[in-house]
A and B are shown apart, each in its own frame.
Chain A
Amino acid sequence: MIGFASLMAGVVLLLLLVAFAANGWMAARDSWEARIAQDDNAGAEICPPEFVGHVFSRQDWEFIRGMRAPELAALFQQERKRVALVWVRQTSAMIQRAMREHATAARQSKNVDFPTELKIWRQFVSLVLICGTLSLAIQIAGPLWLASLARVAQRLSEQMTNVQSAFRPAPPVSADAAGSE
C-alpha cells in the first residue's frame, strides 16, 4: 500500500515537472495570459443575457420540430450547439480571469486566510470541471438536454461568490474615522 502511494507520488511529481519544464515557467504563464486576453477579446462580443437564457431552452426546438423540416432541424441543432459552446467558453474564461486576478492579489497580501483560500480554490476547480463537463456534454448530446447539469453549475457558482464575499478584507480605517473614536 505504502509502495503504491510512494510510486504514485513519484510519478505525479515527475509528470508535473515534465509539464513544467516542457512549457517553460514563464512560457506557460504567458500562454495562459494570452489565452485569457484572447478570451477578453471574445468577451467584447459577449452573448446578451436574454439570449443566453434561450440557449438551453427547448421552446425554440419544439417550434422548429413542429415545422417538420429535417434539414432546418439539423441546422438549428448545429447552430445552437455552436452558440452553447461559445457561451461555456466565455463563462469559463470569466471564471479563470476572476481567479487569476484573485491569485495575483492574494499572493502579495499578508491578509490571506488559509481556509477561505482553500474554499475558493475548491470552488474554482469545481466550476472549471463543471464548465469542462458542460462543454463535453454539449459536444456529445447537444445543449437542449443539459438544464439539470447547468443548475448544479449555478449552485456551485453561487457558493464561490459567497466565499469571495467572506474573503474580502475590511476597508482601511480612514484618518477621519480614526480621529472620531
Chain B
Amino acid sequence: MLSQAIWWSSAVLEALVLIRGVRGRLVLHYPVFYGYIFFVLSQSILRALVLRWYQGAYGPLYWTTEFLGLAIGCWIVFEIYQVALAPYPGTAKMARKVLLFLLVMALARAISEFWSDPHILSDTTALQAERSLRTFQAVAILALVLLFVSYSITFGRNLRGILLGYGFFIGERVICLTFVSERERDFWFYAYSASYIAALGLWLGHLWSYQPSPELSGKLGLELEYQRIAAATQRRLREARSYLRKVARS
C-alpha cells in the first residue's frame, strides 16, 4: 500500500515537473535535467508493466535502469557545473581540477580493492555497487557546493532548485543505502523510495517558472583589474600579518 502511494506520488510529481518545464520553456535551459525526469517517469511505467506481465525480467530491468539513471544523474551534476560556472572561468577551472582529482582518487581506490581481492566484482551486490557510485556522486556534489560557497557564486532560483533537489536526493539515498536491507522491506526501504518524492517537491517549487540567473556585477574584463585587486589583497594580508607579528613580539 505504502509502495503504491510512493509510486503514484512520484509519477504525479514527475508529470507536473515536466508539464511546468515544457510550459515555462525551462526544458530549453536545462535539457539534461528534464531528460532525467522524463527518463525516470518512463522507467517507472516500464518497471510497473514488466512487474505485472514479465516478473522474471524485473530484476535485470530494475538494475539496468537504476544504473542508467545514475549515469544521467552524473550528467545533471555536469549541467549544474556548466551553467553555474559559465561566467566564472577561474572557479570553473578549480572545479574541473577538483572533480578530476576526486575521479582519480575513486578509480585508484577501486583498482586497489580489485588488486587486493580479485573476486570483489562477483562478490559485490548491485546494491553495494550503487552505494559506492552514489557516494562518489555525493562527494562530487559536496565539493562543488563548497566551491560555489567559497567563491560566492550566485545562482538563479531554477538552478538552485535543481542543485538542492538533486543534492538532497543523493544525500538521502546514500544514507538509506547504508542501512537498507537486501531481504526485507523495513523503514529504510521506504525511506529510500520516498527520498525521491522530497526532491521532486523541491524541484516543483523552484522550477514552477523560468527565472534567469542573476547578472554578474562588476565584471572583470581586464587582468589589470584583477592584478589591482590581488595587490590590494596582498596589502591587507600584510596588515594582518603585521598585527599578529606585533603580538608575537610582545
Interface residues of A (CB under 8 A from B): 2-3, 5-7, 9-14, 16-17, 20-21, 25-26, 28-29, 32, 49, 52-57, 87, 90-91, 94-95, 97-112, 114, 117, 121, 127, 147, 150-151, 153-154, 157-158, 160-161, 164-165, 167-169, 171-172
Contacts and interface: CB of A to CB of B under 8 A. Distances in A.
Contacts of B154: 25-26, 29
Given A14-B175, A110-B89, 9 more contacts: A2-B132, A9-B138, A16-B146, A94-B236, A105-B229, A107-B152, A111-B223, A150-B247, A158-B241
Contacts of A106: 90-91, 151
Given A9-B135, A53-B250, A112-B94, A17 B240 contact: no
Of the candidates B142, B218, B237, the one having the most CB atoms from chain A within 10 angstroms of its own CB is B237
A36 B108 CA distance: 42
Interface of B: 87-91, 93-94, 97, 131-132, 134-135, 138-139, 141-142, 145-146, 149-155, 160, 164, 167-168, 170-175, 177-178, 214, 216, 218-220, 223-227, 229-234, 236-250
A45 to B, nearest CB: 15
A103 B149 contact: no
A153 B248 contact: yes
6 closest residue pairs by CB, A with B: A10-B174, A14-B171, A13-B171, A157-B241, A10-B175, A98-B236
User: From DSSP, what is the main secondary structure of chain A's interface residues?
Assistant: helix
A10 to B, nearest CB: 3
B83 to A, nearest CB: 14
Given A153-B248, A165-B234, A49 B243 contact: yes
21 contacts: A10-B173, A10-B174, A13-B170, A16-B142, A17-B164, A29-B154, A49-B242, A57-B250, A94-B240, A97-B236, A98-B233, A98-B236, A101-B229, A101-B232, A106-B91, A108-B88, A112-B93, A157-B244, A158-B245, A164-B234, A168-B231
A109 B222 CA distance: 9
A6 B132 CA distance: 7
A87 B97 CA distance: 37
Contact of A10 (B97, B132, B172, B243): B172
A38 to B, nearest CB: 16
Contact of A17 (B171, B173, B245, B248): B171
Contacts of A105: 220, 225-226, 229-230, 233
A171 B151 contact: no
Contacts of A164: 230, 233-234, 237
Given A10-B171, A105-B230, A168-B230, A147 B250 contact: yes
A154 B153 CA distance: 31
Given A6-B177, A49-B246, A157-B244, A108 B220 contact: yes
Contacts of B232: 101
